Protein backbone atom coordinates (compact mmCIF):
# COMPACT_ATOMS: atom_id res chain seq x y z
CA UNK A 1 0.00 0.00 0.00
CA UNK A 2 1.28 3.46 -0.87
CA UNK A 3 0.40 6.71 0.83
CA UNK A 4 -0.57 8.41 -2.39
CA UNK A 5 -4.34 8.53 -2.51
CA UNK A 6 -5.95 6.57 -5.28
CA UNK A 7 -9.64 7.04 -5.70
CA UNK A 8 -12.00 4.16 -6.16
CA UNK A 9 -14.25 4.61 -9.15
CA UNK A 10 -17.55 5.79 -7.71
CA UNK A 11 -20.87 6.18 -9.43
CA UNK A 12 -23.84 8.09 -8.14
CA UNK A 13 -27.24 6.43 -8.13
CA UNK A 14 -29.62 9.36 -8.33
CA UNK A 15 -33.08 10.05 -9.64
CA UNK A 16 -31.72 10.45 -13.15
CA UNK A 17 -30.60 6.84 -13.25
CA UNK A 18 -33.46 4.58 -12.15
CA UNK A 19 -32.51 0.99 -11.39
CA UNK A 20 -34.18 -2.21 -12.59
CA UNK A 21 -35.94 -4.78 -10.42
CA UNK A 22 -32.91 -7.04 -10.87
CA UNK A 23 -30.56 -4.28 -9.71
CA UNK A 24 -32.68 -3.61 -6.66
CA UNK A 25 -32.67 -7.33 -5.74
CA UNK A 26 -28.91 -7.65 -6.14
CA UNK A 27 -28.14 -4.44 -4.30
CA UNK A 28 -30.33 -5.31 -1.33
CA UNK A 29 -29.66 -9.06 -1.40
CA UNK A 30 -33.34 -10.05 -1.57
CA UNK A 31 -35.53 -11.89 -4.06
CA UNK A 32 -37.83 -10.39 -6.69
CA UNK A 33 -40.82 -11.78 -4.76
CA UNK A 34 -39.72 -9.87 -1.68
CA UNK A 35 -39.44 -6.66 -3.68
CA UNK A 36 -42.90 -7.25 -5.18
CA UNK A 37 -44.29 -7.81 -1.70
CA UNK A 38 -42.95 -4.38 -0.70
CA UNK A 39 -44.51 -2.80 -3.78
CA UNK A 40 -47.80 -4.43 -2.76
CA UNK A 41 -47.49 -2.90 0.70
CA UNK A 42 -46.79 0.49 -0.82
CA UNK A 43 -43.34 0.79 0.81
CA UNK A 44 -41.81 1.52 -2.58
CA UNK A 45 -43.30 2.50 -5.89
CA UNK A 46 -41.85 1.79 -9.30
CA UNK A 47 -40.74 5.11 -10.80
CA UNK A 48 -41.53 3.98 -14.33
CA UNK A 49 -42.54 0.99 -16.39
CA UNK A 50 -40.69 0.78 -19.68
CA UNK A 51 -41.86 -2.02 -21.98
CA UNK A 52 -43.05 -4.02 -19.00
CA UNK A 53 -39.77 -3.50 -17.11
CA UNK A 54 -39.98 -1.76 -13.78
CA UNK A 55 -37.58 0.99 -12.85
CA UNK A 56 -37.05 2.12 -9.28
CA UNK A 57 -35.63 5.27 -7.75
CA UNK A 58 -32.32 4.69 -6.04
CA UNK A 59 -34.00 6.14 -2.94
CA UNK A 60 -35.97 2.88 -2.74
CA UNK A 61 -32.81 1.04 -1.69
CA UNK A 62 -32.88 2.64 1.71
CA UNK A 63 -36.56 1.86 2.30
CA UNK A 64 -36.28 -1.73 1.12
CA UNK A 65 -33.30 -2.42 3.35
CA UNK A 66 -34.90 -0.78 6.35
CA UNK A 67 -38.19 -2.69 5.90
CA UNK A 68 -36.39 -6.02 5.57
CA UNK A 69 -34.12 -5.38 8.53
CA UNK A 70 -37.16 -4.62 10.70
CA UNK A 71 -38.89 -7.69 9.33
CA UNK A 72 -35.92 -9.95 9.98
CA UNK A 73 -34.65 -8.48 13.25
CA UNK A 74 -37.87 -7.65 15.07
CA UNK A 75 -40.24 -10.22 13.60
CA UNK A 76 -42.53 -7.49 12.22
CA UNK A 77 -44.59 -8.57 9.23
CA UNK A 78 -44.31 -6.56 6.02
CA UNK A 79 -47.43 -4.49 6.63
CA UNK A 80 -46.07 -3.54 10.05
CA UNK A 81 -42.59 -2.89 8.66
CA UNK A 82 -44.16 -0.68 5.98
CA UNK A 83 -45.89 1.35 8.69
CA UNK A 84 -42.69 1.53 10.74
CA UNK A 85 -40.65 2.75 7.75
CA UNK A 86 -43.15 5.52 7.11
CA UNK A 87 -43.32 6.52 10.76
CA UNK A 88 -39.53 6.49 11.05
CA UNK A 89 -39.26 8.83 8.08
CA UNK A 90 -41.87 11.10 9.57
CA UNK A 91 -40.01 11.17 12.88
CA UNK A 92 -36.83 12.01 11.00
CA UNK A 93 -38.56 14.95 9.31
CA UNK A 94 -40.08 16.16 12.56
CA UNK A 95 -36.73 15.94 14.32
CA UNK A 96 -35.15 17.99 11.54
CA UNK A 97 -37.93 20.54 11.88
CA UNK A 98 -37.57 20.64 15.65
CA UNK A 99 -33.82 21.19 15.37
CA UNK A 100 -34.56 24.10 13.07
CA UNK A 101 -37.17 25.68 15.32
CA UNK A 102 -34.96 25.29 18.38
CA UNK A 103 -32.14 26.96 16.51
CA UNK A 104 -34.39 29.88 15.55
CA UNK A 105 -35.19 30.55 19.21
CA UNK A 106 -31.58 31.33 19.93
- Nearest CA-CA partner of 81 in 66, 62, 60: 66
Question: Residue 12, interface with other proteins (CB under 8 A)?
Answer: yes
Report yes or no: 42 and 82 within 8 Å, Cβ to Cβ.
yes
Report yes or no: 62 and 28 within 8 Å, Cβ to Cβ.
no
Question: Residue 27, interface with other proteins (CB under 8 A)?
Answer: yes
Nearer to other proteins, 40 or 99 (CB): 99
Question: Residue 40, interface with other proteins (CB under 8 A)?
Answer: no
**Cα–Cα distance, 32 to 17 (Å, whole number):** 20
Question: Residue 2, interface with other proteins (CB under 8 A)?
Answer: no
Nearer to other proteins, 27 or 39 (CB): 27
The piece of 4-12, 31-39, 41-49 that touches other proteins (CB under 8 A) is 4-12
Site size toward other proteins, by CB under 8 A: 35
- Interior/surface letters 42-79, b for 16+ CB within 10 angstroms, e for the rest: ebbebeeeeeeebbbbbebbebbebbbebbeeeebebe
Q: Report the interface residues with other proteins, using CB under 8 A.
A: 5-16, 26-29, 58-59, 61-62, 65-66, 69-70, 72-75, 84, 88, 96, 99-100, 103-104
Amino acid sequence: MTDKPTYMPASLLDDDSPITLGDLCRICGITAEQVLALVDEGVIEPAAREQGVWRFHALSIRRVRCAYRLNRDLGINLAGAALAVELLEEIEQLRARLRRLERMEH
